């Protein structure tokens, strides 16, 4: 009778992931992260927020922009699918700093931008 290595699906595993290490130099996602974080002037994205003294903290528009631009580069335009990618895909997790914006947040961010 054949013998196989023991396996158990009912086990816990701790995996340490540095999200910045997932954005490998030379990759599109690394370039996107660098450009959006370091080279673009994004203060116009911050102006609509009026939650300085009250209301809950918002998702940083820099993170939302990275997530959406990366998704669009992959042909993903559905806000629900982008949310799912943030939950399951390591590159989306790296670009979003392991946050998962709700699909309505993503859709509102896109639809609230000027179209010119």
Please give the distance of CA 63 from its chain centroid, rounded to a whole number: 6
Tens-of-pLDDT digits for all 116 residues of the chain? 888 888 888 888 888 999 999 999 999 999 999 999 999 988 777 777 676 677 777 788 899 999 999 999 999 999 999 999 999 999 999 999 999 999 999 999 999 887 65
Rounded to two decimals, what is the model's pTM? Answer: 0.83
Collapsed DSSP state (helix, strand, coil) of residue 24: coil
Q: Calculate the alpha carbon distances from 28 to 24, 59, 61, 105, 115 in Å.
A: 9, 23, 20, 24, 25
> What residue ranges do the domains of the chain occupy?
60-116
């Amino acid at each position: 009778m054949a013998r196989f290595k023991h396996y158990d699906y009912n086990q816990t595993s701790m995996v340490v992931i540095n999200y910045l290490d997932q954005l490998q130099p030379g990759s599109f996602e690394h370039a996107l992260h660098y450009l959006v974080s370091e080279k673009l002037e994004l203060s116009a994205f911050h102006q609509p927020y009026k939650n300085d003294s009250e209301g809950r903290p918002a998702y940083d528009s820099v993170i939302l922009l990275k997530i959406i631009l990366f998704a669009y580069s992959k042909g993903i335009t559905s806000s629900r699918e982008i949310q799912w990618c943030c939950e399951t895909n390591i590159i989306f997790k790296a670009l979003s700093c392991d946050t998962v914006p709700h699909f309505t947040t993503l859709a509102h961010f896109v639809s609230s931008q000027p179209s010119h």
